Structure 1
């Protein structure tokens, strides 16, 4: 099973702010301050007497007590991200000289010197595939506020070593992850930088995590408000299929199937009680109780809606992405938002999904 993307940390931050009664923001200015010995520039997004959340110019979300900010000073109106050149310079200082930094139209990619530079174009290509796929289905894509950062390590050992030093716990077998707090994708090259097609050996994980990053930065998901986990994971799992991320050259519904999730659905959910859609939509709790079945349900429901009701699916994504920042998402509102686009007859919807699945190629 694919390791869960590190969304719980971001949700914990959201919940902490949402439960404080006096959350303000976003501010109409940027400030510069020294926090724990590090100079930070960015826009305050929300704050209370005991907590501030600040969006750094590099896309990182800084969470700190206001009293920890030393020598704070307003420096500009609104939010101004670092340019690709500025971010490249900062990343070259952050990583040692064995790493190079390559920029593309949307990415700034840290990678070992040599053939690893191919990763920049791979990620840019995935970005284009994602935005094209969403655009032709009527979803209004926004330009990212800042360059997207990806860090490619030489091997799994270097990847795990960096994560441990950064305080990020990784489950055994993790091949890559997107961090909502830093807004970065981290991965390692399983091909050892050979520059050939061997990267496809862990392509599903890379595409999954790159989809999260792109979706959160183009308005498909709202990075700073709670989003239904089935919706976030379902979309990323759809893009694991070559017929989705390589849609311009690959045709046929069989190429768009995530065969692993489809099989999991047929084994665990198909023909079961019809309330699985309601439980999936109403909360994220099922992911803790039964993760395998939950991922299968998330992909199946997402794939069905995108294939058969693309306009409603795009409107639903847009509705959820426009939620107020730093707010939690209760079950009643989740169900109401879903029903506003797809109706509230969950028994009928279950029958439609089950019939759709039964007709998919085996």
Structure 2
């Protein structure tokens, strides 16, 4: 679970290191499951590192590009490590040729295929490919590149929606969504109803705060899969730049949601297998007690039988609770992303603070928020913060506001999401609600600026603008740290 959380956050090396840290006995027992998963992580890590290295090399920073690949090489194994070493050698050759030609970056060797775009939680595919400078172009100023504004896609014909889906896929249309599903009728209907419920709550939440949102111009799209296998096959077949290991996701390029029925996923099957294994062990103990003629052994067996019965009862209760909430929280989280971008609250842009993007989605996992009633803070996120507090680990406001990459590529993605949620929770439900108006003004600023800037403002300039906009609304970051720390302590009490 920790590895998949890191992978979902884009930290493929961190996820791979997590699986490598398992003991030899566990690795041997789960070899069939681990081997393809680790191969996928290593391949994604190479793609990611190669994309970063290419970007640095195109800027003339060959040393940084080589260092990026070297860091990846140190972690990978076997054929994947050899591939990373070959990429590093190619970069050294490019560096040598560049120095011979007067320091200008050169094109990549044609023998190597171009890597796919760097995978992220929600990549923005509307960016055009980077033009590769030639010696002539380097001698003249490059005109400022213009990016196409993001244009959301809505539901088209049934034929378009079903393209690439299995033959058993069905289509269900509601007032505001179209659900393309390979799941059973019950889960398809439940998912469609949940999407409509979240939408109503989302708009109600902002209407009560007099915050202006727009209505989408068409039906929003959701792809729902009856099994994890169907989901992974479809994501791979479409070449979407998201790891198929992600629990589910919203993709800005297609403006669609993608998620499976977690009750039919490997984690659920594993949980059921644990129960079945415990029940078999219980039957063995009962059989031994029945055959035993030693009173002391019978007493020991009776005690163990009682413990197993309690253990099985606890496992079943935990499994039922997890299965009941897993699909709901996933649907709510990803649907909130989709609604943020289709209501005009956000526009794909480097101006968008990642802590707001994820923090809002986690906030709406708490049903009381979008149902307009009081509810206890998100228990799963509170548990994450409690665990971090015990280990004296926490993210500061500056960590969250600083750079987007520090959030989405952290080693502990769960803590990053929980911390982003806690900061938004402070602004929405904090003491005396003193941040209520500043938070809405802040969101209005993001709404306006991301729409204006699109992808024109990036990197350091975007980071500086994000920080300045935050301090304009809430004051200096350092002055907010103490209050945020106190709020975290209250949440985990």
Q: Same fold by TM-score, threshold 0.5 exceeded?
A: yes
Aligned length: 300
Which of the numbers 306, 320, 325 marks the counterpart of 2:428?
306
1:284 is the counterpart of 2:429: no
User: Offset at 1:166?
Assistant: 1.4
Residue of structure 2 in register with 1:183 after alignment? 255
1:104 is the counterpart of 2:229: no
The structure that has the greater radius of gyration is 2
TM-aligned CA distance change 1:321 to 1:234, over 3 Å: same
Aligned counterparts of 1:116 and 1:304: Cα–Cα separation in 2: 35
User: Offset at 1:258?
Assistant: 3.1
Aligned counterparts of 1:24 and 1:170: Cα–Cα separation in 2: 25
Deviations 1:180-227 (A, max 9, x none): 2111100112346xxx99553332222211111111111221125541
TM-aligned CA distance change 1:199 to 1:163, over 3 Å: farther
Matches within 5 A, 1:1-362: 1=2, 2=5, 3-4=8-9, 6-7=120-121, 9-10=123-124, 13=127, 21-24=143-146, 45=148, 55=151, 59-60=152-153, 86-88=156-158, 90-92=160-162, 95-112=165-182, 114-118=185-189, 119-168=191-240, 171=243, 174-191=246-263, 200-224=325-349, 226-245=351-370, 247-248=371-372, 251-254=374-377, 258-264=381-387, 266-267=389-390, 276-287=396-407, 288-292=409-413, 293-308=415-430, 309-323=435-449, 324-329=453-458, 330-344=462-476, 346-360=477-491, 362=493
Query: SS in structure 2 opposite 1:322?
Result: helix
8 Å CA contact retained: 1:175, 1:202: no
Aligned counterparts of 1:261 and 1:4: Cα–Cα separation in 2: 16
8 Å CA contact retained: 2:214, 2:343: yes
Deviations 1:121-150 (A, max 9, x none): 111111111221222233222112332100
TM-aligned CA distance change 1:122 to 1:258, over 3 Å: same
User: Offset at 1:178?
Assistant: 0.9
Question: What's the TM-score, normalizing by structure 2?
Answer: 0.54
8 Å CA contact retained: 2:198, 2:335: yes
Aligned counterparts of 2:412 and 2:125: Cα–Cα separation in 1: 18
User: Offset at 1:282?
Assistant: 2.3
Aligned counterparts of 2:162 and 2:126: Cα–Cα separation in 1: 31
TM-aligned CA distance change 1:269 to 1:178, over 3 Å: farther
TM-aligned CA distance change 1:217 to 1:255, over 3 Å: same
Aligned counterparts of 2:378 and 2:418: Cα–Cα separation in 1: 17
8 Å CA contact retained: 1:221, 1:321: yes
Aligned counterparts of 1:14 and 1:294: Cα–Cα separation in 2: 30
Query: SS in structure 2 opposite 1:10?
Result: coil
8 Å CA contact retained: 1:261, 1:300: no
User: Offset at 1:303?
Assistant: 1.4
8 Å CA contact retained: 2:121, 2:242: no
8 Å CA contact retained: 1:264, 1:296: no
User: Offset at 1:361?
Assistant: 5.8
Bigger share in strand: 1
8 Å CA contact retained: 2:366, 2:377: no
Aligned counterparts of 2:331 and 2:216: Cα–Cα separation in 1: 20
- Greater mean deviation of Cα atoms: 98-107 or 279-288: 279-288
Query: SS in structure 2 opposite 1:313?
Result: helix
User: Offset at 1:152?
Assistant: 0.4
TM-aligned CA distance change 1:220 to 1:338, over 3 Å: same
User: Offset at 1:15?
Assistant: 9.6
TM-aligned CA distance change 1:294 to 1:258, over 3 Å: closer
Deviations 1:67-90 (A, max 9, x none): xxxxxxxxxxxxxxx6x6x44453
Bigger share in helix: 2
Question: What's the TM-score, normalizing by structure 1?
Answer: 0.71
8 Å CA contact retained: 1:254, 1:361: no
